[in-house]
Amino acid sequence: MQQNEAKYKATHELASILFPNEEWIQQSENIFVTKSRLFGSYKERAKLYREISDIRILTKLGSIAFFLPECLKHDTEDEHYNMHADTVVDGTIVELKTVSGNRVTLGKSFRREYKQGRSLLRKHGITADH
């Protein structure tokens, strides 16, 4: 039980550092969602519920997930720089992706998401490779 409390604390702390003005609502066991995501458009809520469905695989095994708010784009021409992660899971920033299709589709998606990962590192001032 102490391990679960430590994961919750680390995950909540990181999510709150990233978004200090957000209110977190418990959706189900080990899943928390920022209040602002619960009132988005139909399309945004549908995306959220798909992501929650995906993350349940981890939370049923004891992981803790905090779903971060959808961010508005800032004034910059680098669209990848404006991207952000979906969740914090067990104290780690995580981006969820669901991809289907043929080999070409998967390759394009992988390249696009690799760029997103690189921009997320840059955005948060992290110089590590990914």
Kindly report, residue by residue over 18-64, the tens digit of the pLDDT. 888 999 999 999 999 999 888 888 898 898 999 999 999 999 999 99
Question: What mean pLDDT is reported for the chain?
Answer: 82
For residue 128, being part of any structural domain is answered with: no
Question: What's the CA gap between 64 and 121, in Å, rounded?
Answer: 22
Q: Whole-prediction pTM value?
A: 0.76
Nearest alpha carbon to residue 60 among 32, 84, 17, 28: 28
Q: Which of 46, 64, 47 is nearest to 55 (CA)?
A: 64
pLDDT at position 128 is 58
CB 62 within 8 Å of CB 30? yes
Confidence (pLDDT) at 11: 94
Total domains present in the chain: 1
Q: Residue 67 domain-assigned?
A: yes
105 occurs within a structural domain: no
Domain that holds residue 24: 2-98
Average pLDDT over residues 78-92: 70
